[in-house]
Amino acid sequence: ARHRMAVEVLQRILPPAAARRIIGGVYDDFENYREITIVTCVVEGLDLNDPPGAIASLNKYFNELDNGLKERKTLLKMEACDDSYSFICGLSPENAADHTVKAVDFARTMTEVAAATDTGLRVRAGVHTIRRMLGGLIRTLCPRLMLFSEEVEEARHAAVRGVPGCIHLSNNHHPCEETLSYGHICRTVVPLSSRS
């Protein structure tokens, strides 16, 4: 029973190919991903004068997102150690074709959940598509999927410079906009970092 539970956890938190490699005992393996989309939401509106209230608000919001993410097998949550929430889409061949649309759709959910919960939180979501990224499993005791690209932070920069309640797309994401079923507004070009 424990082995089955461990396998289920691996399959929930890692892309299918990476989970199969760990289950088979292969750890030192890297993969080149042709194209993936990263989404980051940055939360504002926390009352830092009330730490228990701030933690309760973040927990309520992030738990809602985790529950929504569980139903969407194509999205993989990324680890963060701040008040942001990030996920990635496109790591497995079965969802590579429409990963951008799925990612933007959940980014929309991120802003809607913040508006619907009575926490007073406001969310800015940033979306960035990366072409050519290296990823692999690091460590054997507590394996982690690490992704390597100079562009990983671009989604966060798009969110940080954005407007609360909106989804902000980087220029790399721009060519996929015509596949979306909802409208968009071009705000002009906003520099995200020293590289873009």
Could you tell me the CATH number of the domain that includes residue 91?
3.30.70.1230
The confidence score (pLDDT) of residue 52 equals: 92
Q: How confident is the model at residue 78 (pLDDT cuts 50, 70, 90)?
A: confident
The confidence score (pLDDT) of residue 72 equals: 74
Which structure tokens are listed for 6? 């461990």
Mean pLDDT of 67-78: 74
Mean pLDDT of 58-66: 85
Domain membership of residue 82 as a residue range: 30-179
Beta strand 144-148 with 167-169: parallel, antiparallel or unpaired?
unpaired
For residue 20, the cross-strand partners are: none
Which structure tokens are listed for 63? 């738990």
Residues 111-130 have pLDDT tens digits of 988 888 888 888 888 888 88
Residues 161-181 have pLDDT tens digits of 888 888 888 776 554 554 456
- List Cα–Cα distances, 157 to 38, 160, 193, in angstroms: 12, 5, 7
Whether residue 94 is contained in a domain is answered as yes
Of the candidates 163, 149, 158, the one whose C-alpha atom is nearest the C-alpha of residue 196 is: 158
Q: How confident is the model at residue 185 (pLDDT cuts 50, 70, 90)?
A: low
Q: Is the pLDDT of residue 14 over 80?
A: no
Whether residue 190 is contained in a domain is answered as no
Whether residue 12 is contained in a domain is answered as no
Mean pLDDT of 60-81: 76
Whether residue 14 is contained in a domain is answered as no
The confidence score (pLDDT) of residue 194 equals: 45
For residue 138, the cross-strand partners are: 144
Q: Is the pLDDT of residue 64 over 80?
A: yes
The confidence score (pLDDT) of residue 140 equals: 62
Report the number of distinct structural domains present in the chain.
1
Whether residue 174 is contained in a domain is answered as yes
Residues 15-54 have pLDDT tens digits of 777 777 777 877 667 778 888 888 888 888 888 889 999 8
